[in-house]
Amino acid sequence: MYAESHRPVFLDDVIGHQEIKHSLKSYLQSKPFAGAVFMIGPPGIGKTTMALCAARTFEFDPLEINASKSIRSFEDVDKLKDACRSCVNIQSFIRGNRERKTCVILDEVDGSDPHAQAKIVEWVKDKTRTVPILFTGNELPTIFKRNSELIEILRCFPPKASEVQHLFPGSDAPQILKECQHDIRRVFHRLQYGESFIIPDYPLPPTGTSAEVAFLWRQKMFELPDPLGCHADKLGNVHLHQTTFEYNPGGKRAGNPVTPRRSRQSNPGKLNKAAEKPQNK
């Protein structure tokens, strides 16, 4: 796909976001790596791409992790901390380049578990940590906002049409950006696969069947549970809470609920009085 094959490799290849790139440069060149950097913004504007490019530019091996899928508990954070306890990546160690270090990139961290987020903040506060940490997300979690003195919040905004006009020669860049809601990933998909057409909704032909009967047919066809069955027999009026064809209390035609007749009950008071009446001998 164009979004991957034309993806920037280094930070100088990224268009726009000058303040974001300057902040990433300052953080990755500072040692020790105190705190972390959180890039927040709408999807498809290049947050993860900038994090990967910054890591490569300053000779780090990026360790990208989708936090919304992989970081779900305390144990997941502990495993990540143990894996990053050594600042040298295992691949760099095998290649013999022990000077190339690891940069942790937690993508979509706003979708991770809140308890895991608290553990991540504790890891950021750890003074023995030797690896830089970059966060990306669409929204800012509350716990990261409360620790803004340790985590630098960088708000990323969608690119302007004037910044990307030269990338799409012969096309109406402002109109495409507007239709794609300034999502660069969607713009690349649009240029590669063309505009997607939505199939219009055609009205169904009339069948002359009432909505109630059609509901019963659909319920019978797909073996759906009775939606009113949960109310049955709560007040002794089961016949008022049955909509299925199977309900046939009186042996009548299926589909026509019939109210069962109440059986005659004897008057217990009269029987008791007759039993208590003394017999004259």
Q: Which candidate, 3, 10, 21, 13, places its Cα nearest to that of 154?
A: 21
Please state the φ and ψ torsions of residue 161, each to the nearest 5 degrees.
-65, -35
Residue 257 lies in a domain: no
Query: Torsion-angle region of residue 163: left (phi > 0), alpha (psi -120 to 50) or beta?
Result: alpha
Strands (E), the chain: 36-40, 60-66, 101-107, 133-137, 151-155
Say if CB 184 and CB 163 are below 8 A apart.
Answer: no
- CA 265 to each of CA 102, 246, 249: distance values in angstroms, whole numbers, following the listed order: 85, 29, 20
Residue 105 lies in a domain: yes
Residue 31 lies in a domain: yes
The total number of structural domains that make up the chain: 1
pLDDT, one tens digit for every residue, the chain (281 residues): 666 777 888 998 888 888 999 999 999 998 888 899 999 998 888 899 999 999 999 989 888 999 988 888 888 898 888 877 755 555 555 555 556 688 999 999 998 988 999 999 999 999 888 899 999 999 999 999 999 999 999 999 887 777 777 776 766 777 777 777 777 788 777 777 776 544 455 555 666 666 667 767 776 777 666 555 554 455 455 555 455 544 455 554 444 555 555 555 555 555 555 555 555 54
Q: What angle do CA 184, 161, 176 make, to 5 degrees?
A: 60
Residue 216 lies in a domain: no
Residue 263 lies in a domain: no
Residue 7 lies in a domain: yes
Residue 18 lies in a domain: yes
Residue range of the domain that includes 90 = 2-159
CATH number (domain holding residue 43): 3.40.50.300
Say if CB 134 and CB 105 are below 8 A apart.
Answer: yes
